[in-house]
Chains A and B, each alone.
Chain A
Amino acid sequence: GAGVSQSPSNKVTEKGKDVELRCDPISGHTALYWYRQSLGQGLEFLIYFQGNSAPDKSGLPSDRFSAERTGGSVSTLTIQRTQQEDSAVYLCASRQDPDTQYFGPGTRLTVL
Chain B
Amino acid sequence: RKEVEQDPGPFNVPEGATVAFNCTYSNSASQSFFWYRQDCRKEPKLLMSVYSSGNEDGRFTAQLNRASQYISLLIRDSKLSDSATYLCVVNILRNSGGYQKVTFGTGTKLQVIP
List residues of chain A with CB under 8 Å of any chain B CB.
30-31, 33, 35, 41-43, 45, 48, 50-51, 53, 56, 91, 95, 98-106
Contacting residues of chain B (1-40) with chain A, CB-CB under 8 angstroms: 32, 34
A100 to B89, CA, bound (A): 10
- B104: chain A residues within 8 A (beta carbon): 35, 42-43, 45
Asked whether B106 lies within 8 Å of A103 as measured between CB atoms, the reply is no
A30 to B101, CA, bound (A): 14
A50 to B98, CA, bound (A): 8
| A-B CB pair tally, cutoff 8 Å | 54
List residues of chain B with CB under 8 Å of any chain A CB.
32, 34, 42-46, 49, 87, 89, 91, 93, 97-107
- A104: chain B residues within 8 A (beta carbon): 43
A53 to B94, CA, bound (A): 13
A98 to B101, CA, bound (A): 12
A50 to B44, CA, bound (A): 21
Asked whether A50 lies within 8 Å of B106 as measured between CB atoms, the reply is no
- A99: chain B residues within 8 A (beta carbon): 32, 34, 49, 91
Selected from B42, B49, B100, B107, the residue in CB contact (under 8 A) with A31 is: B100
Asked whether B46 lies within 8 Å of A102 as measured between CB atoms, the reply is yes
- A41: chain B residues within 8 A (beta carbon): 106
Selected from A42, A50, A51, A91, the residue in CB contact (under 8 A) with B43 is: A91
